[in-house]
Amino acid sequence: MNRTQQYYISRTLFYIVLAIIFIYIVFPFYWAIRSSITPNNELFATPVHYWPQQPILDHYIEVFTNGDFLVALRNSTIVAASTTILSLLIGTVGAYALGRFRFRGRLPVMYLILSMTMFPAIAILGSLFDLVRRFGLYNQLPSLIITYLVFTLPFTVWVLTSFFAGLPKELEEAAYVDGASPFETLYKVMLPLIAPGLVTTGLLAFINAWNEFLFAVSFLQTPDKRTVPLAIFLFNTTSGGGFEVPWGTIMAGTVVVTVPLIVLVLIFQNRIISGLTAGAVKG
């Protein structure tokens, strides 16, 4: 066996390993798509076909005519967007202070924020539930918007602080010389420069809020207040039909809520990876 042969064999093996990894990663999502366009009589029959004989869109029509599901999409958008905006507003000024100012107590605050990023939400579920009830927020979307800050805000502050700290020191010196106040310096000089950080943390906050389940399943009750994860979880009970569990419709629902996220993630993949590693490596 000569060198070129050896090279081609090892190259082929390498691509086979790569293909196995790829299939392992994307197969469950492929299967959800396949099941979402397979008619029920084929879905609940053996042997299993890996591509539907007659692809149909009925399950998608069911999903989009299901009022509860549409309401859930709306609710999740409201909750995730509000949490993200609040985290960015509050977190940016906090991170500005931590990243650009030298003051006593800075380090303890940094440690506090860092420990908050590892905070287990279950440890405060009871107290938050109590709080939510006392403020009359039970079964209301603001109960989620406020409590989701527990995990979105510390992460936002932590990552943005490193973005602020990375900017050159001369920036505000120049701005101060020009007579700008610290606030003007922040939103006229700094904000445009940390825009990539805002996109990264904003996206991650949005995705985390969009995915949250523990608080949603605990604080919400009626169908008109459900978020997407709750709606997907409770699909079994809300739509019936001839079969016990409407797997085709559930899979159509999972595809509908997953595709926008995957598109977002693919567009911003470099930002997301750098945000995840900033959060993790420096965490």
Partner 1 sequence: MSVSAETQPQVQRAPLAVPRVHSKLVQAQTRLAWILLAPSLLVVAFVALIPLLQTISQSFTNARLASDRPVAFVGLTNYVNLITDTDFLRSIWVTVQFSIITVLFEFILGLGIAMVVNSNFKGRGFMRAAMLVPWAIITVVSAQMWKWMYNDIYGVINDLLVDKLHILPANVAWVSNPATQLPAIEVIDIWKATPFVALLLLAGLQVIPGDIYEAARVDGANGIQQFISLTLPLLRPAILVTMIFRTLDALRVFDVFYVMFGSQPTTMPMAVYAQQNIVSFSLLGYGSTVAVAIFIIIGIFVVAYMTAFKVETA
Residues within window 231-270 making contact with partner 1, judged by CB under 8 A: 232-233, 235, 247, 250-251, 254, 257-258, 261-262, 264-266, 269
The distance of closest approach from Cβ of residue 69 to partner 1 in the complex, given in angstroms and rounded to an integer, is: 13
* Token pair listed for 186: 């922040």
Contacts of 68 (CB under 8 A, 6+ apart): 223, 224, 226, 231, 238
70 binds partner 1 (CB under 8 A): no
Give every CB contact of residue 42 below 8 A, 6+ residues apart in sequence: 49, 52, 53, 54
Q: What is the nearest approach in angstroms of partner 1 to the Cβ of residue 161? A: 11
Go through 139-152 and write b for each residue having 16 or more CB atoms within 10 A of its CB, e for each that does not.
eebebbbbbbbebb
Cβ neighbors of 282 (< 8 A, separation 6 or more) are 158, 162
Least Å from the CB of residue 226 to partner 1: 12
- The smaller minimum CB distance to partner 1, of residues 6 and 269, is found at 269
Q: Name which position in 83, 147, 185, 200 contacts partner 1 (CB under 8 A).
A: 147
Confirm or reject binding of residue 135 to partner 1 (CB under 8 A).
no
Which residue stretches of 37-66 are H helix? 40-43, 58-64
Distance CA 193, CA 172 (A): 12
By rule CB under 8 A, what string of x and - marks binding of each residue 196-235 to partner 1? -----------x--xx-xx--xx---------xxx-xx-x
Q: Which stretch binds partner 1 (CB under 8 A): 22-30, 52-60, 62-70, 193-201?
A: 22-30
In angstroms, rounded to a whole number, what is the distance separating the alpha carbons of residues 235 and 256? 14
Alpha carbon 266 to its chain centroid, in Å, reads 13
Which position among 109, 180, 189, 199 is part of the footprint of partner 1 (CB under 8 A)?
A: 109
Only segment of 1-9, 38-46, 62-70, 191-199 that touches partner 1 (CB under 8 A): 38-46
Nearest approach in angstroms of CB 111 to partner 1 is 10
User: Collapsing DSSP states into helix, strand and coil, what is residue 77?
Assistant: helix
Which one of 53, 103, 168, 237 is in contact with partner 1 (CB under 8 A)? 103
77-96: contacts with partner 1 (CB under 8 A): 90-91, 93-94, 96
- Min dist. Cβ of residue 195 to partner 1 (A): 19
Q: Residue 229 CB, nearest distance to partner 1 (Å)?
A: 4
Residues 161-190 that bind partner 1 (CB under 8 A): 182
Q: Quote the CA–CA distance of 72 and 231 in Å, as a whole number.
A: 6
Residue count, binding to partner 1 (CB under 8 A): 95
- From candidates 120, 168, 179, 242, binder to partner 1 by CB under 8 A: 120
Phi, psi (degrees; rounded to nearest 5) at 171: -55, -55
CA–CA gap between residue 244 and residue 146 (Å, rounded): 37
9 makes contact with partner 1 (CB under 8 A): no
Q: How far apart are CA 200 and CA 275, in angstroms?
A: 6
47: left (phi over 0), alpha (psi -120 to 50) or beta: beta
